[in-house]
Amino acid sequence: IEQVHRLLKKEGFRLESSALESGYSIRKLTIICMAAALKILQMMIASTSIKEQSIELIFNSEEVACLERIEEKKFAKSIAQPNTYTPKTIKWAYQIIGKLGGWKADNKQRKAGPISLQRGLIKFYEIYEGWILNKTNT
């Protein structure tokens, strides 16, 4: 509950500072932010789980393809912090999203927290939007 509150409030999505006026718009924004918070919490829980969980619980096949490309182009050459998780699992996505959010993924730093994952998820969806636009133009 505290992590959800943190994600929705000042440090995360800043719902309380939205300039929306109608109740319908505020509810719609809250639902969108709750969906993102659910993805973030699923990644956090999966990162500490022993069992590998399928990525399809969080991301669709196009999003997974985009994550693969991001890892290939941006993080595959990172010898210091390679992604050691099984590809196409939630733990694998957790590491990519965390790195996009500024997490260093080294042993000296603790696990990626909800705010790093939130920043990474926002950055991922910005990249993903470009990915989709590029695919529709070709």
Residue-level pLDDT at 25 = 85
Q: Supply the pTM of this predicted model.
A: 0.83
**Which residue type is seen at 27?**
R
Residue-level pLDDT at 77 = 66
Tell me how far apart the alpha carbons of residues 2 and 95 are, in angstroms, rounded to a whole number: 23
Q: Kindly state the average pLDDT of the residues 67-81.
A: 77
Residue 126 pLDDT > 70, yes or no?
A: yes
Structure confidence at residue 8 as a pLDDT band (50, 70, 90) = confident
